[in-house]
Amino acid sequence: MTNPKIGVVGIPGKWSTEVLADAIEARTGFRAVIDLHETCLDLTSGRLEHRGQDLGELDALIVKKISAEYSPTSLDRLELLRVAEARGVRVFSRAETMLRLINRLSCTVTLRNAGIPMPETLVTEDLDSACQAVQRFGEAVFKPLFSTKARGMCVISADQSPEALRREVAAFRADNPMMYLQRRVELPGRDLGMVFAGGRYLGTYARVPQSGDTWNTTIHSGGRYEAYTPSAELIELATRAQAPFDLDFTTVDVAETSDGPVVFEVSAFGGFRGALEGAGIDAAGAYLDHVLSEL
């Protein structure tokens, strides 16, 4: 396909969105950044419109970001893209594959069904069961089902009175009726982002916290990126972890523990900045190479 019209679904002005749009414009001469917040779907005509542009007339859409923070609304926005797909627009990654990853529980169930090692995890709406799990784990990380960059996560320790523990868990449940909690694992001062395009391994970067509290290494919380060379075993694990999702681009979050490596999650979108600053990988360029080869 000569000079395809490829739009970027993302957040205008954000670094990763603009870097990808720049790469597409340099290769094809076409530039369109689409904020799904500003789209309108007419189901009668099948027209999905963004600022007067019919997205069904594009050749492809690359989804970099659908919202600043994940929420059930994110699922609704992805459903809109299914209409564009039905009209023949290639969406990278396919809307159906991304839908399985926005909700943390859906991602976890897929990983566990594939036999991927993960931290001990409990999912429940029951307050007593959650409190008992914290006592069994000693410390647990409570995670919202819809979140990015560890937003809304907290650590709850069993080292307190049963009454105080129950109050903390109940406070989390007030905003998260379906509670998702994992045994807190000790990290070796880092966790890893392992980058894939079209199922092909590109490289790995490490996230290193700036404080002594190593459970949260995200850059949002003050961490930094570093280069890292993983073992063949880690690459094989990450490759197996991303395979069931059939994503066109992703980052697999992996941690090395004293009991062996574990996978925290597979990202629906994957980060460009960590790949560039930590591993020297031009993720936007590699992703675009994959998309153009598919088109």
Q: Note whether 102 and 75 are within 8 A (CB).
A: yes
Q: Return the biggest CA–CA distance within the chain.
A: 67
For residue 59, which amino acid is it? D
Residue among 286, 142, 258 nearest 201 (CA): 286
Dist. CA 90–CA 288, nearest whole Å: 13
| Domains of the chain in sequence order | 6-92 (3.40.50.20), 107-117+186-294 (3.30.470.20), 121-183 (3.30.1490.20)
Give the single-character DSSP code of 49: E
Q: Tell me: the pLDDT tens digits for 258-276?
A: 889 999 999 988 889 999 9
- Look up the pTM and report it: 0.88
Decide: residue 132, CB within 10 A, 0-12 exposed, 13-18 middle, 19+ buried. middle
Question: What digits encode the pLDDT tens for the residues 197-226?
Answer: 999 999 999 998 766 555 555 555 557 899
CA atoms within 13 A on the CB side of 200: 9
b (16+ CB within 10 A) / e for 16-34: bbbbbbebbeebbeeebbb
pLDDT value of position 56: 95
pLDDT value at position 14? Answer: 93
pLDDT at 73: 81
Cα–Cα distances (Å) from 223 to 78, 153, 207, 255, in that order, read 30, 16, 6, 15
Q: What does the pLDDT look like over 80-122, one tens digit per residue?
A: 999 999 999 999 999 999 988 888 899 999 999 999 999 999 9
List pLDDT tens digits, range 178-202.
Answer: 999 999 988 878 899 999 999 999 9
